[in-house]
Chain A
Amino acid sequence: MGNILEVNDLSKSFGNLKVIDGWDLELKKGEKLILVGPSGCGKTTFFRIVSGLEKATSGSVTVFAQKVGYVFQEPRLFPWRTVFDNLKIIRDDEKKIKEVIKMMSLEGFEELIPSKLSGGMKQRVNLARALLVEPDLLILDEPFSSLDLKIKLAIMKDIEELWSKYNFSILMVTHDIKEAIFLADRVTILSPRPSKILQTFYINLDITERDITNRRFLELESTITKFIINETEN
């Protein structure tokens, strides 16, 4: 299976402040890679480099995806436009918009403006917008950080189902280990700044085990947590 993303010896500094230190990564087509790291470890900077908004100081990032969907930490919606119009700005294809609205359970909310939506609904529009471009690669930048557990789990379940159906690659950053295990094929742990890649964990859980109360899920969470604590103490 070919790669959708290749990162070779990537480093990024802002002046004298080194943020990313020699990352090597690859993401296969249809794979779900989640990066877990503390605040300020360069997760968002990495996304900005992948998106082409920042340049690497050294090393390279190659994106092979034709279409990329972005799910931002905050919904980034036009406040004066309805849900439908927010999607229409990205892609003027009413049939496809209706399809993603249905997919994300946003039916009945099409004509509302963002201020009338809950945080969870706004994030659903954020995700619907990313799906509207029919992405090969879905990039998620801490998309659940402002949501409560119930809504977070519901949206993660939706992402899992959509992934099973469309098989796009997923690259997500988070500091929440539960989120990572729930969605990932691989979880890569990052050190604090200047951040290095410390370890990659393969999440060999089937769909029924991707449950925060499942024994294997909890074991994995415990293993990763212990690893992070040990690394922090060292």
Chain B
Amino acid sequence: MKTFYGVLLIIVIWYILSFAIGSSFVLPYPHLVLKTLIEQLKTPRIYFALWGTVWKTLVVLLFGTLIGIAIGFFMGINDTVYEIVRPLIMVVQSIPVVSWLAFVVFLWGVGFKGPILISTLSILPDIVFTTASGIKSIDGKLLEMVRLYKVPFGRIFRHLYLASIVPFIIAAVEISVGNVWKVVLVTEFLVGGSGLGVELAWARQYVDVPRIYAITLIAVVLGLVTERLFKTISKRMLKRWEIY
């Protein structure tokens, strides 16, 4: 019920601002945006665009997480690797998205590769550092115990390393899920071949402001739904770790 009042408050503020600004080129009224949204949802084009963004985001999350865990794992178990790789990851973290955009546009031009690469690089550093911290926080005495008992490395990796970093990874991915949509949309907007970002670029081209807002609404809902979905899944997964 509180959420409903929250949404209602947003709509009221939106109406007041639209009325105060008085220009549908800057801020159209909510009912106009809603009308455009319904029109958009009746066309197959928006669903293709939506799918274009969704699959790219899923690929980014999968690649980012897997590569991040792999790099973070080696950084966590070996201090020399950590010291050598850390500056590189920090540089990746510091490079602005626009610089990557300039780079990929020369390399590949417009298409799906640019948004995937840039978005993966945007989430990678958090996953890497979180995984490395998780590995470093493993109880050394537990590690010593399994080594003394000559437990095979596969079992140590699964039961100790992987199990220890799960809460860390879930926290990092949870943050990434919230941010990755925004990066995917920006990169699609500038170098994408398809997706909601590209639809936004076209809407801007035709100065179709209600459509810009309608697509933005779809992106917001998508972001909120995936975040909530991931939180529900992660909560279940973390239950095991939280009880001890």
On A, residues with C-beta under 8 Å from B are: 51, 53, 68, 70, 72, 74, 76, 78-81, 89-90, 113-115, 129, 133
Looking at the complex, which one of B148, B241, B243 makes contact with A53 (CB distance below 8 Å)? B148
- Could you tell me the distance in whole angstroms from the C-beta of A140 to the nearest C-beta in chain B? 13
A113-B244, A114-B244 known; A80+B145 contact, CB < 8 A = no
Looking at the complex, which one of A51, A68, A80, A89 makes contact with B155 (CB distance below 8 Å)? A89
A78-B163, A80-B163, A89-B159 known; A115+B144 contact, CB < 8 A = no
Query: How many B residues have CB within 8 A of the partner chain?
Result: 17
CA distance A232 to B241 in the complex (A): 49
A79-B244, A81-B159 known; A70+B142 contact, CB < 8 A = no
20 A-B residue pairings within 8 Å (CB atoms): A53-B144, A53-B148, A70-B145, A70-B148, A70-B149, A72-B141, A76-B141, A78-B142, A78-B160, A78-B163, A80-B240, A80-B241, A80-B244, A81-B159, A89-B151, A90-B146, A90-B151, A113-B244, A115-B243, A129-B149
CA distance A51 to B240 in the complex (A): 33
- Could you tell me the distance in whole angstroms from the C-beta of A201 to the nearest C-beta in chain B? 29
CA distance A78 to B139 in the complex (A): 10
A80-B163, A81-B159 known; A72+B145 contact, CB < 8 A = yes
Residues of B within 8 Å of A70, CB to CB, are 145, 148-149
- Could you tell me the distance in whole angstroms from the C-beta of B241 to the nearest C-beta in chain A? 6
Kindly report which residue of chain A lies nearest to residue B146, judged by CB atoms: A89
B149 touches A51 (CB 8 A): no
Looking at the complex, which one of B145, B159, B244 makes contact with A115 (CB distance below 8 Å)? B244
Kindly report which residue of chain B lies nearest to residue A68, judged by CB atoms: B148
Which residues 131-150 of B sit at the A interface, judged by CB distance below 8 A?
A: 139, 141-142, 144-146, 148-149
Looking at the complex, which one of A53, A78, A113, A114 makes contact with B159 (CB distance below 8 Å)? A78
A53-B148, A89-B155, A90-B149 known; A74+B244 contact, CB < 8 A = no
On B, residues with C-beta under 8 Å from A are: 139, 141-142, 144-146, 148-149, 151, 155, 159-160, 163, 240-241, 243-244
- Could you tell me the distance in whole angstroms from the C-beta of A6 to the nearest C-beta in chain B? 20
Residues of A within 8 Å of B160, CB to CB, are 78
With A78-B159, A114-B244 given, name 15 new contacts (CB 8 A).
A70-B145, A70-B149, A72-B141, A76-B139, A76-B142, A78-B160, A79-B244, A80-B163, A81-B159, A89-B146, A89-B155, A89-B159, A90-B149, A115-B243, A115-B244
A51 touches B148 (CB 8 A): yes
Residues of B within 8 Å of A79, CB to CB, are 244
Kindly report which residue of chain A lies nearest to residue B167, judged by CB atoms: A80
Of the candidates B160, B163, B244, the one having the most CB atoms from chain A within 10 angstroms of its own CB is B244
Of the candidates A72, A74, A80, A114, the one having the most CB atoms from chain B within 10 angstroms of its own CB is A80
Residues of B within 8 Å of A68, CB to CB, are 148
- List 3 tightest A-B contacts by C-beta distance, closest first: A79-B244, A76-B145, A115-B244
- Could you tell me the distance in whole angstroms from the C-beta of B28 to the nearest C-beta in chain A? 52
Of the candidates B139, B142, B149, B163, the one having the most CB atoms from chain A within 10 angstroms of its own CB is B149
- Could you tell me the distance in whole angstroms from the C-beta of A146 to the nearest C-beta in chain B? 14
Kindly report which residue of chain A lies nearest to residue B166, judged by CB atoms: A80
- Could you tell me the distance in whole angstroms from the C-beta of B88 to the nearest C-beta in chain A? 33
Residues of B within 8 Å of A51, CB to CB, are 148
- Could you tell me the distance in whole angstroms from the C-beta of B98 to the nearest C-beta in chain A? 43
Kindly report which residue of chain A lies nearest to residue B158, judged by CB atoms: A89
A133 touches B149 (CB 8 A): yes
Kindly report which residue of chain B lies nearest to residue A81, judged by CB atoms: B159
Kindly report which residue of chain B lies nearest to residue A130, judged by CB atoms: B149
CA distance A115 to B242 in the complex (A): 11
CA distance A51 to B142 in the complex (A): 15
- Could you tell me the distance in whole angstroms from the C-beta of B155 to the nearest C-beta in chain A? 6
CA distance A72 to B146 in the complex (A): 12
CA distance A28 to B171 in the complex (A): 53
- Could you tell me the distance in whole angstroms from the C-beta of B143 to the nearest C-beta in chain A? 10
Residues of A within 8 Å of B243, CB to CB, are 113, 115
Kindly report which residue of chain B lies nearest to residue A90, judged by CB atoms: B149
